[in-house]
Structure 1
């Protein structure tokens, strides 16, 4: 794996849309993945 030049090259962001609304009125999920450690954050959002 090549060494990244800056920290932002190790992060990927995705949106999961089109899911049914939750009780909190969230209808999408923002997924942030740190590629080096393979850790992920799943953040509910309203679109």
Structure 2
């Protein structure tokens, strides 16, 4: 699921707001989803 939309995201900013997304727990877009997407894209080790 690695596409231009994923690479266009400001990854550092996304990871900066991870704790807030985890605490709010709003919707299905959270740290777990980000880690899954990044892992599939092969970027997980790069940012984590």
Q: Give the structure with the larger strand fraction.
A: 1
Between structures 1 and 2, the one with greater helix share: 2
TM-score by structure 1 length?
A: 0.21
Structure whose alpha-carbon radius of gyration is higher: 1
With the length of structure 2 as denominator, give the TM-score of the two structures. 0.21
Higher RCO, 1 vs 2 (CA within 8 Å, ≥6 residues apart): 2
